[in-house]
Amino acid sequence: MVQSLRVRETTAQQIMRPRDQVVALWLDRPQVENLRIAQTNGHSRYPVCSGSLDQVVGLLLVREWLWQIHALGPEASFEPIMRPALKFALSTPIHTMIEKFRTARSHLAVVLDDKEALAGIVTFEDVLEEIVGDIRDETDIESGPIYDRTAHTITVSGSLTMR
C-alpha cells in the first residue's frame, strides 16, 4: 500500500536520467560520428538533436537504422526513419507517463523543463522499475554479487551467502 502511494506521487523529474548523462545522436554531424556514438554506448534508442541538446528533433531506433545502413549504406541520412519524440514535463506523474508511452507505442521520452530545455530522458523501463523494482535483462552488466547500494538498501544476488 505504501509503495502504491509513493509511486502515485512519483514524477518524471524523480526517475529521469539527467541532461548531463544523456547520449544523443546528431543530425548536423557526420554519420560516422553518430555510428561511433551508438557503438560506444550500446543503447537501442537515442534522442536525435540538431545544434544542441535543447533541440531534440526526434528519436532513432538503432535496429531500424542498422537495416537502413544495410540497404542504403552508412552515409544515408537517418532523418527519414526518425520517430517523433515523446515529451514530458518535469512534473508529469508516473500514471500519465505510462498512458502516454502506451498510446505512443514508444519506449523513450525527453523530459523538458519550464523553458522547454532538455532536462533529461526517461524510458518505459525506468517507469516500470519504479513500480515493480529493478528489471535485469541480457544487456545489464553485473559486476559481482552486490548490484546496487543506497543509503537504506543493498540489492544483492540471490545466490549470495549471508552470514
CATH of the domain at 70: 3.10.580.10
| Single-letter amino acid code for the residue at 112 | L
**Long-range CB contact pairs, 147-151, < 8 A, 24+:** none
Q: Which helix (H) or strand (E) covers residue 71, if one does?
A: helix 62-72
pLDDT in tens, 145-159: 666 666 567 777 777
Nearest alpha-carbon partner for 43 in 134, 151, 140: 140
Residues of the chain with pLDDT under 70: 1-8, 135-152, 162-163
**Domain membership flag for residue 163:** no
Q: Report the number of distinct structural domains present in the chain.
A: 1
Q: Which helix (H) or strand (E) covers residue 103, if one does?
A: helix 94-104
First to last CA, the chain: 31
**Domain membership flag for residue 161:** no
**Domain membership flag for residue 118:** yes
Q: What is the pTM of this model?
A: 0.76
**Domain membership flag for residue 128:** yes
**Domain membership flag for residue 162:** no
Structural domain boundaries, residue 25: 2-156
Cβ neighbours for 23, distance < 8 A, ≥ 6 positions apart: 37, 41, 43, 46
